[in-house]
Chains A and B, each alone.
Chain A
Amino acid sequence: MEMLLMGVCVAVFGMAIACAAFGAAVRPARGAAAAAAEMKAEPIKTVAPAKFFINQVSVPTSNGHVSVPIEALLLQLERHVRLEQAAAESFLAQPTSTLLHSKTVSPFLN
């Protein structure tokens, strides 16, 4: 009898926890709007210019891309062209499908 009562108690307690968890999961987005309002109220943080060892740093833009100084970008582009030409010349020296599609260490492709 005691075992039966203990089992019932455990079952009721378990059921209560499950109901609480379910309620929390399906609660309407009332909190979401409040959270958004709270987030809007936060002051906008700006990225402070880094001045430690280097003058220019790569800062993620709003679309998530990393902005590279244009001079660095042009150097990367030159390097990419040289590597691609070298890869194409390797293919011309020995035309195989593997060499035609060989990978380079170009920063644009890695």
Chain B
Amino acid sequence: MYGLLKGLAPADVERTLALGSRIALSSGDELFPLGAEAECLYLISRGQVNLTLPMRVRDRETDVLVEERTAGQTVGWSALIPPHRFTLRATAPVETEVVALSREVLEQFFTAHPDAGYMVTLNLAAVIGQRLQLFQAMWLREVARMVELRAA
């Protein structure tokens, strides 16, 4: 079951999935690069997707893990949120399969089936909200440590 399609009628789930195309990724494959135009969002059918950001470590630019998404979860929601640019890089650390849903096709579907569009939008808001709350907490923990270090 995909989190993004939670609450949809079974027929709408089938219709939505029928709009997508399945993509198989081998270990180490890139799903999307940082900064690319976000045309599709992806539902993870199996495997795992790592979301990373570049960071300089000892004069070497490397990708640092930001989030790990597993089967049933969604990545690439920038496809539905302006300015439609990926703000992270996505790679598959293991054999992975995703369902790619293009923005254009999804928007047409939501226009024709507003109930489904509403449910998907609510689920998408939950995904975005979870990211926001998680990083808000992580940021505050980091600030607290910085203050502790400065005060020491």
Contact = CB atoms under 8 A, between A and B. Distances in A.
Interface of A: 70, 73-74, 77-78, 81-82, 84-85, 87-89, 91-92, 100-101, 109
A81 B134 CA distance: 12
Interface residues of B, number: 19
Interface string B35-77: 0000000000000000000000110101011111000000000
B137 A70 contact: no
Contacts of B150: none
A68 to B, nearest CB: 10
Given A74-B57, A92-B134, A92-B137, A101 B144 contact: yes
Contacts of A77: 57, 64-65
Contacts, number: 43
A88 B65 contact: no
Nearest to B139: A88
B133 interface: yes
Contacts of B141: 84, 87-88, 100-101
Nearest to B64: A77
B133 A92 contact: yes
A27 to B, nearest CB: 38
Select the residue from A78, A85, A109 with max chain B CB neighbours within 10 A: A85
B140 interface: yes
A74 to B, nearest CB: 6
A88 B137 CA distance: 5
A17 B30 CA distance: 80
Nearest to B63: A74
B67 A85 contact: yes
A89 B65 contact: no
A78 B144 contact: no
Contacts of A88: 134-135, 137-138, 141
Contacts of B57: 70, 73-74, 77
Nearest to B60: A70
